[in-house]
Structure formats: structure tokens, C-alpha cells
Amino acid sequence: MTLMLLHRALTAKVLIGVFTMVGALSAKAEPEAPMVDEIVLKNGSRLIGSVRTIRDGVLTLETEFAGTLSVDMDQVTSVDTNERVVVLKVDESVVQDNSLQIAQGQVLLPDADQSYPLQDLMVLNPEPWELGQGYRWTGLANIALARQRGNTDSDELDYKIESVWRSKQDRYTVQGNGELDRANGEKNADNWQLIGKYDFFLKDPNYVGLLASVKQDEFRDIDLRYLIGPYLGRQLYSEPVFSLQGELGFSYVVEEYIMAKDQKYWAGNWSVDASSNYLGGDSRLYFNQNGIWNLEDTSDVVLNTTFGLSFPLLWSLEAAAEILLEYDSGSVEGVDDLDQTYKLRIGYTW
């Protein structure tokens, strides 16, 4: 009897130990619940996902149910994150914390024991270049080919490339474009231009820069036109709904013509760039104008103006419709002052 009781007691202990071990292993094997962030909208909706950034008044949220969402902060009541965040403030100070809450127009960083108005937050989780670490590289490249055979034989080649390296302190820009067209075996367009710029940022929103460019246009009798000079720039507006940037400077210009007499002169030059996402859908309206004003012959003005509408396609491709107006009041005899070009282009952006 005693042996039986002892056997039962030992069996019970073994079973308890086995169940305890199995339970512990099961608990360890069970995956931890993922940390999620919660966004509450003014209409009462709740969005669950991972907050990637807040920039220019727009919050970017990555979700499992709808991919990446962009939400205007004007529509947000509260934000509650559970992952480590980096905050770049308007005064350019940087704060890190293990979480962040936004409610009633206030930003709270619990571990850092900081609270400040939402308008003082410039970027949540900024890119390395915004923290003074290296450069951000962006650009576009497109090429257009057209070939027609029949009553009219024509071949057209248009190309354009732009590359920008931007840091917190300065910016390098390289632009190039060109056109080569033939109709019925005769060339009717042959031109190209290369532009290089360097910008050094002063106290926001001003910057100084240096411009150098070279242009060739056989059908405007321009063998080569060189330009180099400094300028002062200002970012007048920088919101996505309307961005406006202007530059004003002076330069030394050398114009070498194929037939006409060459000339050299000092010039005033300017540039205006404007864009807007007002139409929505990630589309962009844009306007660009570059001007050269001969200070020795004030009737001689060169204007290159572009109006365009671009919109994204798949795989970082972009489509755009453009109107290009090229005006040169000092065109040589037999050449029209104004050229008008209408383009539909598709290119790759990065």
C-alpha cells in the first residue's frame, strides 16, 4: 500500500513537471504581439500600422491592410507610437525617444520629458541628410524616340537628364537636354545644353550659388554659348501645395556663332522655379524660366520658359506634358525670335 502511494506521488510529480515544461516551451514559442502605432482621425476612424514620418503637414503610415497611406495632419486628432522615433524641430534641434504621442496640438516625448506645440515639429524620423549626414541623391532621366515612314519620313530624338545632390549645407545640380530631328533625310533640329550649379545655404531661406552653362543650337546659328557667374537665391515658399524659388545674379557670356559675328558681354541672369500638387493624385504642375539680359545691349534678352504637368506611373516612371518657349530677341537675321515646342515625355525618377 505504501509502495503504491509512493508510486502515485512520483508519477504525479513527473506529470506536473512535464506539463510545466511543455507550457513554458509553448509560451516561448508563441510570437510576441507586434508593436503597432495608432492614429485617430477627426471623423472617429482609427488607423493601425507603423508611422514612418511626418513631413510638410502629412503623416505617412504603413499598414498591412492598405499599404502606405498619406494622411493630412489637419484630419488627425491623436497619434500614439510605440517605436523609437527621431524628431527634428523647427529650431533644428534633434530629440530621440522610445515613443511619441500627439494630442490636442501638443507633442509629448515621455522618456525625454518634453512637450511642445505641434507646429514646432518639422520632421518626424528625418532622412540622414537632414541631420547633416551625407547627401540625398535625386534625379530624372528620359528619352523619346519617334520614327515615321510613308508620305513623310521623319526621325526624332529628344533626351533630358537632371541629377541633384543635396545636403543640409549645400546642393549640386547637373542638367542636360537635347534634340536631334530629321525629316525626309534633312536635319531640321540639332541642339543641346548642359548646366551645372552649386548652391551654398545661408540662414534659411537664402542661399548663394555659382552657375555655368554651355549651349549649342545649329538652327539658331549658335555654335556655342558659354555663361558663368554667381547669384543669390531665395526659397520664397516651400509647401507642397505651392513651392516658389527665385535666383538673381550676373554673368559673363560668350556667344560663338556659325555665320554671324561672335560677341562677349556682361549680363544679368535670373531663374524662377514654381510647382504645386494642387491637382492631387501625386501629380505636379510646374513652371520654370531662365533669363539672360545683355547689360551692354539692353534690347538683347534670352528667355527659356517651360510649363508642365507631371504624374507618376509604375516602377518610378513619370509621364509629363510640357510646353517649351525659347525666345531670343537678339537672334541673327533669318532666324525667328521665338521657338515653341510641345512634348509628351516618359522618364525614370529616383
Q: Per residue in 46-58, pLDDT tens?
A: 999 999 999 988 8
pLDDT of residue 281: 74
Return phi, psi of residue 15, to 5°. Answer: -65, -40
pLDDT of residue 76: 93
Name the percent of the chain lying above pLDDT 70. Answer: 89
The answer to whether the beta carbons of residues 156 and 187 sit under 8 Å apart is: no
pLDDT of residue 18: 45
Per-residue confidence band for 22, with pLDDT thresholds at 50, 70 and 90:
very low
Return phi, psi of residue 129, to 5°. Answer: -65, -30
Per-residue confidence band for 330, with pLDDT thresholds at 50, 70 and 90:
confident
If DSSP states are collapsed to H, E and C, what string results for 169-206? CEEEEEEEEEEEEEECCEEEEEEEEEEEEEEEECCCCE
Q: Cα dihedral angle (346, 197, 275, 178), rounded to 10 degrees?
A: -30
Give the DSSP H/E element, type plus range, for residue 21: helix 2-29
Please state, in angstroms and rounded to a whole number, the distance separating the CA atoms of residues 184 and 223.
24
Name the nearest CA neighbour of 131 among 165, 93, 99.
93
Q: How many CB atoms lie within 10 A of CB 162?
A: 17
Per the listing, cell 545644353 goes with: 193
Return phi, psi of residue 40, to 5°. Answer: -110, 125
Name the percent of the chain lying above pLDDT 90. Answer: 60
Please state, in angstroms and rounded to a whole number, the distance separating the CA atoms of residues 173 and 156.
27
pLDDT of residue 182: 86
Based on its alpha-carbon atoms, the radius of gyration of the chain, rounded to whole angstroms, reads 31
pLDDT of residue 200: 97
Question: Number of helices (H) and strands (E), helices first, in the chain?
Answer: 1, 23
Per-residue confidence band for 152, with pLDDT thresholds at 50, 70 and 90:
low
DSSP bridge partners of 250: 268
Q: Per residue in 156-170, pLDDT tens?
A: 888 999 999 999 999
Asked which of 149-153, 289-293, 333-337 is least confident by mean pLDDT, the reply is 149-153
Q: Per residue in 208-264, pLDDT tens?
A: 999 999 999 998 899 999 999 999 999 999 888 899 999 999 999 999 999 999 999
pLDDT of residue 335: 78
Per-residue confidence band for 15, with pLDDT thresholds at 50, 70 and 90:
very low
Q: Per-residue pLDDT for 13 more than 60?
A: no
Please state, in angstroms and rounded to a whole number, the distance separating the CA atoms of residues 317 and 299.
42
Q: What average pLDDT score do residues 63-73 get? A: 88
Q: What is the β-pairing status of strands 317-328 and 284-294?
A: unpaired
pLDDT of residue 345: 84
Please state, in angstroms and rounded to a whole number, the distance separating the CA atoms of residues 63 and 200.
39
DSSP bridge partners of 158: 144, 179
Distance of CA 267 to the CA centre of its chain: 31
Who contacts 144 (Cβ-Cβ below 8 Å, separation ≥6)? Answer: 156, 157, 158, 159, 343, 344, 345, 346
Return phi, psi of residue 2, to 5°. Answer: -65, -45
Q: What average pLDDT score do residues 118-143 get? A: 93
Cell of 279: 491637382
pLDDT of residue 27: 47
The answer to whether the beta carbons of residues 231 and 247 sit under 8 Å apart is: yes
Q: Give, as one character, the DSSP assignment of residue 48.
A: E
Choice between 152 and 307, residue whose per-residue pLDDT is larger: 307
Structural fold of domain 136-349: Porin (2.40.160)
pLDDT of residue 20: 52
Cell of 122: 518639422
pLDDT of residue 143: 84
Mean pLDDT (the chain) is 87
Please state, in angstroms and rounded to a whole number, the distance separating the CA atoms of residues 113 and 9.
56
Domain boundaries, the chain: 37-126, 136-349
